[in-house]
Amino acid sequence: MSPMRAAHHSSGKTDVEHELEHTARGPVYRVLAALAQTCLVIAGVQLVTLISIFGWLVWGRYVLNDTPTWVEQLALLLVVWITFLGAAAGVWNKSHLSIDFIREMMPDPLRIPMRWIAVIAVCVFGGFLAWQGWTLAEKTWPRNIPMLGIAEGWRAVPMAICGALTVVFSLYHVGELARGEYKLTGEL
């Protein structure tokens, strides 16, 4: 039995009870969860596209002896989008990169304020990311990406989107903390 399953069964709740608990959450939760899932789906489609264009690059270079020059620029653009959309979804799922083992080893009187600080810090960082992403997109919009002919600002748009979503998701997590409902990934 996996550790996740063991924790799940040790809570005394059945699979059905956990599923009902998940679906019983309010409409805001469901909308934000759908938004995070949409980010993952878009990033997944972009990842498939990235793999496909690299296949085309290899085919063009070695079979057709005519390297498609646009592949590198499109790949760079896709990597930025995949990274930032995945990061935003990671904030919602509480699976983003963090060093939480120290916090989780602390007793509750210290752990709870440290969770507040962490969630608020992520929210502030998201605000900074959104602001700077928007600023960068505006400043680079007049230039075109070589070989693609689209605005350079499209490289910064996902940064702004990720920042905005990070703020929204973090504010929801602040609400969970305030209601005593905040759980880390894997906690049941």
pLDDT at 186: 52
Does residue 185 sit within a domain? Answer: no
Does residue 84 sit within a domain? Answer: yes
pLDDT at 50: 97
Rounded to an integer, what distance in angstroms lies between the CA atom of residue 125 and that of residue 163?
A: 8
Torsion of CA 7, 12, 14, 15, to 10 degrees: -20
Does residue 3 sit within a domain? Answer: no
Does residue 133 sit within a domain? Answer: yes
For the chain, what is the domain count? 1
**What sign results for the dihedral spanned by CA atoms 77, 78, 82, 88?**
positive
Structure tokens at 3: 């550790």
| Cα Rg of the chain (Å, integer) | 21
The pTM of the full predicted model, rounded to 2 decimals, is 0.81
Domain with 87, as residue range(s), is 13-179
pLDDT at 99: 73
Angle at 57 between CA 52 and CA 61, to 5 degrees: 150
Does residue 4 sit within a domain? Answer: no
* Cβ-based burial of 178 (10 A; exposed 0-12, middle 13-18, buried ≥19): exposed
pLDDT at 5: 44
| Helix, strand, or coil (residue 144) | strand
**Which residues lie closer than 8 Å to 152 by C-beta, 6 or more apart?**
140, 141, 142, 143, 144, 145
Does residue 5 sit within a domain? Answer: no
Rounded to an integer, what distance in angstroms lies between the CA atom of residue 130 and that of residue 55?
A: 34
Residue ranges of the chain with pLDDT lower than 50? Answer: 1-10, 18, 20, 188
Does residue 108 sit within a domain? Answer: yes
pLDDT at 156: 97
